[in-house]
A and B are shown apart, each in its own frame.
Chain A
């Protein structure tokens, strides 16, 4: 057992602990991971014998695997990879005797890991994926984290508006830039239920498939022209995830609702990754007719508002009512602010519309939607994100970076014959942040080097999500299809063959690495040169010194006299030098190469000529 074994194993434990730090304790599997880590640490503390220490290494590997399932992001994955490397080095330290130090162990561990990687990749890429056995294990998070809220009461969103935390990223990997800034509305929740104060979403918090229901068929992959939006959403506690409102889901976890929400079955306490096509679906939520709930309004709460809307209600069409409301909003001195102050409990919207006229998106959306409902136009509040910054990382796919500060609320109204239309009443207010952003350009925020670094990292993260996290059952099927075409029944044979070939290559590579560094370089170089001569039938006799052998060689190939003398002289100088120098070794190698070259070029033509003599004498 090497002395390095214990420090290596403790260091691995430390890495795993760091990996555990970011886990949400709500998931049942993360509790398992915590428990496993504690047990492993205790085992490592009491372990004395070789057997027990081996078990510790195995437990560490299993722990790293568990972490990989819980934290698949790029950063944690790198940490897990390092932990795996160290765990293997610890295991090697247990077996290889007292000799190697930790540096040699890490090198060896890396060699073994790299040698094992081809086989693992073959299996990973080619073996058909199994579907999850049932829905157990994927526990759902409890408690919403910061971000959008299920229930929107103007005043609850103020806190979000100042947070620069990352909310989501959307990339367009198959090319194409982002939509224009005024078109960047990413919807998350649709609030249809209104009780006079707050707007609530009708979406189930955590959709579960019914027990007996067969799983939804896997969506067909994107057609070439469709384009892809790849989303990475930070933990939000919501099952609804942002999207542009158009596009067909490419991940089986996603189900678009009739209201225009996109629900994701994966637990909201984790980061989620999903893909959609960019193109619109014809029969989507925009043409779903409104229900009675879209007109529900507690009468008598805001009398001035109702009186104003009643005037518009007498207009002929929904479109005219909408236009009337728009021109009214624009004619009033509304101002956008993040600190509007609390609204009174009595007639809060009247107070906002006719007294303060100060508010943020929630106020505007809420007041406008109420006005529309009072005027008889089906309307609802939608919350999500607006804008976002377009980031083009160095050598990567560009993406739109959405922060919690980009959280926004707007309205949707149903216009007969046109379907649901987005109306953003905040845009009518003075000092709307989006309008300011448009005029001042996009690079106004985040020019600090730290921000730049973070953006580059997120670019890598997107690539990771696309190439690594996105490799799923369908991708695997597509790969096999591309490789084998119609010969799918040969897959087993191909996998076996590929494993055998990678195994042979790995063993060969490891053997080569093992041989490469054995012995001193001077001797290895000499043997290399002697082998070259041995191929021509000249080998030193037993007890023959190098100079004598060189003389014998010179007798056979007089042309080699000079390089031989130089080589032998240098070899002996280096061999008996008091301190072997790097320059001397390089010189030896150089002379050896020169000697072998002159052996090849100076010797072969001569023999060819000798053999060629009878040919020349032909008539």
Chain B
């Protein structure tokens, strides 16, 4: 059962107008069992069988409402989706706000397998659904289906929604050739090597009088303990001969971008510096998460 007008927008509140409910196949089977018991009860004039048959009928009526109450009044909203890589399952955050207890709730994005059902207590919940994005760039995950069959599986109550927030998808990581533009930050001719030296955090270089804005971790505790006053250590980042990465002209652009994605990921893992040169833009060499994400985002949005 997957029909009904999908909802649009950042947030959606599930109510009578956008919740659909129908008996499941098991529900129809249950009704058939009820009829069978009714026939047996009438035929044998057995009160117990008749009562059980009516009990099953009344459970059917009751669960119609209980199943609907599971989703009634639930508010769905988009979280801020973290970027992910194409070709692999990506988590997409969903904010759920339940007015009451919701049982057996399943979230499923179009084309994906349904996750395990979970019970939600009243209040705010941050959930994730996984999906496999088709390629790089900004993507919306498509149709989200929220459904429940709890408590007895007789009815399926569902609603459909297109979450509005787009998720940035980096190119898939695939090992392969990458064009390295040699030693972009190696000292160039005529430029003093010192010029490239910059304050950093790697090597201890010098001491300087401690300023209040200096981190306590840089305080030269030994000197302080010796009573020689407050000094802060000064460190120095070693200038790298960081390569500039660029797409290999020998392979198609999309494939080259995937190779670059993998290379950036592995350089980041090894703690190496790198820069990026793409058609129309270049990123100075650097390191760290922000730098990596900046490079990957450039790859994702490259035309």
Contact = CB atoms under 8 A, between A and B. Distances in A.
Interface residues of B, number: 47
Contact of B62 (A55, A108, A112, A137): A112
Nearest to B58: A119
Given A91-B152, A123-B58, A472 B26 contact: no
Contact of A77 (B48, B117, B150): B48
Interface stretch (A127-135, A240-248, A331-339, A392-400): A127-135
A61 B29 contact: no
A56 to B, nearest CB: 11
Given A72-B46, A72-B47, A132-B42, A96 B119 contact: yes
A297 interface: no
Interface string A558-576: 0000000000000000000
A510 B56 contact: no
Interface string B44-69: 11111111111111110110011001
The binding surface of chain B is classed by DSSP as helix
B121 interface: yes
A99 B105 CA distance: 13
A92 B58 contact: no
Interface string A124-147: 100101111100111000000000
B116 interface: yes
A101 B30 CA distance: 25
Chain A CB within 10 Å, residue with most, of B41, B45, B121: B45
Given A84-B52, A123-B57, A65 B41 contact: yes
Given A69-B46, A91-B152, A55 B37 contact: no
Contacts of A518: 101, 121-122
A203 interface: no
A113 interface: yes
A471 interface: yes
Interface string A78-121: 00100010001001101111110000000010001101111111
Nearest to A119: B58
B151 interface: yes
A312 B9 CA distance: 111
Contacts of A69: 40-41, 44, 46, 48-49
A116 B104 contact: no
A430 to B, nearest CB: 49
Nearest to B56: A61
Given A64-B52, A95-B117, A469-B47, A58 B41 contact: no
Interface in B20-45: 25-26, 29-30, 33, 36-37, 40-45
Please name the 8 residue pairs, one residue from A and one from B, whose CB atoms are nearest each other, closest first: A68-B48, A119-B58, A69-B46, A120-B54, A69-B44, A65-B37, A120-B55, A123-B54
20 contacts: A55-B29, A62-B37, A64-B52, A65-B53, A68-B49, A69-B44, A70-B44, A92-B152, A95-B152, A96-B150, A97-B116, A113-B55, A120-B57, A124-B47, A132-B44, A132-B45, A137-B44, A507-B62, A511-B100, A518-B121
Interface of A: 29, 50-51, 54-55, 58, 61-62, 64-66, 68-70, 72, 77, 80, 84, 88, 91-92, 94-99, 108, 112-113, 115-121, 123-124, 127, 129-133, 136-138, 468-469, 471-472, 499, 502-503, 506-507, 510-511, 514-515, 518
Interface of B: 25-26, 29-30, 33, 36-37, 40-59, 61-62, 65-66, 69, 100-101, 103-104, 116-119, 121-122, 149-153
Given A65-B37, A124-B54, A499-B61, 10 more contacts: A29-B40, A62-B36, A72-B47, A97-B103, A118-B58, A119-B54, A127-B54, A136-B43, A471-B47, A518-B101
